[in-house]
Amino acid sequence: MTESTLNQLIVSDVGLLAVVQDQGRFGYLDSGITQGGAIDGFAYRLGQRLVGNSLSAAAIEITLAGFRCCFSHDTSIAVTGADAPIAIDGHDKPMNTTLFVRSGSELTIGHSQHGVYSYLSIAGGVCSEPVLGSRSVVMRDGIGANLCPGDSVPYGDIGPCLSAYQYAAPPRTESQLNLRYIPGFQTELISNAVVDTFHNTRFSVGHNRDRMGIRLSGPAVNTGVSKLWSESTCLGAIQIPPDGQPIVLLADRQTVGGYPKLGAVLSVDCARLSQASIGTPVKFIAVDPTEADRILWLEKNYEAELTLAQLRSSP
């Protein structure tokens, strides 16, 4: 296949940050390689469904605002996640919908009104070169690179989808986030009084946030735990550094850490947290592992049902 026949989107504006992400990279923690992957798994998977991709296909994750690109070949796309105005060749288009784009069409994604991370999914998926089994970019680790204006990104040559779907969801804006978490790690070393206070405290989403984690602000949590041997972190781990302000670790977290941890937030709630605006009140609610399994099972089925609803209602 010659260069000119390759399906590719040409990026002209990346806003704050745009990176290729899929489900993440697994099996390399002992090499110090983080998981990565789409921060808002729900929005990412919804996008893949809308364009008929497998749930492991790669998309472009756009942080906050201002993405623009052209497509070399007819295809179908969907924009999910943060609530942002989108347009194709200047015409407003809905989010969470399978959209047809022609060869040469220009897509613009404007500043998000609610939420932080948007996903551009393309029929056939983004076909950048996988590294260690994943296309997820982790810039900090030198795995892949963030997109720059002028970059061309290859995508699958399967053509447009035969039918279009829409997911008419209320925007996922939440005035208060209840983060369900499984207690663990150093919880047993921490006094009940401190844990009770932690549950009764209303924290808020701080300014210090990225794909590694989100720092919360509130009254300091004094764990009383000092010397710890570094150990594996996990998605959603609630780390308490010496200043007592919790950090919830996300997709690009460091693989090992030596701060005390109270437990880990469920993945579905990590996705909600990742989209929360600065200042959003946050409370932690402890759930046991069996309850967590039930929540995740329900969420998985809820997601599957969404797609079914589209199939039945589509013209």
Partner 1 sequence: MDWTPAGENALRLVLSEHPSPSTTQGLVALQQEIRELLSNAWIDSAIGYTTLTVFIDFTHYPRERVQRLLASLDIAKITARYAGDFFSSNDAHVIALPTLYSPDVAPDLLSLAEHKGLSLEELIAIHSGQVYFAYANGFAPGFSYLGEVDERLAVPRLATPRRAVPAGSVAIADRQTAVYPKVSPGGWHIIGRCPTLLFDVNATPPTLINIGQWVRFEPIDCEQFVALGGEL
Report the interface residues with partner 1, using CB under 8 A: 26-33, 35, 131-132, 140-143, 182-185, 229-232, 234-237, 254-257, 263-267, 289-290, 292-293, 296-297, 300
Report how far residue 308's alpha carbon sits from residue 315's, in angstroms, rounded to the nearest whole number. 14
**Which C-beta is closer to partner 1: that of 132 or that of 285?**
132
Residues 6+ apart with CB under 8 A from 265: 179, 180, 181, 236, 237, 238, 248, 273, 284
**Which C-beta is closer to partner 1: that of 76 or that of 186?**
186
**Which C-beta is closer to partner 1: that of 248 or that of 282?**
248
Name the minimum Å distance from CB 141 to partner 1: 5
Name the minimum Å distance from CB 99 to partner 1: 32
Name the minimum Å distance from CB 275 to partner 1: 19
Name the minimum Å distance from CB 228 to partner 1: 9
Q: What angle do CA 257, 27, 264 make, to 5 degrees?
A: 40
**Which C-beta is closer to partner 1: that of 15 or that of 236?**
236
**Which C-beta is closer to partner 1: that of 160 or that of 183?**
183
Name the minimum Å distance from CB 214 to partner 1: 16
Tell me the pairing of strands 177-183 and 281-286. parallel
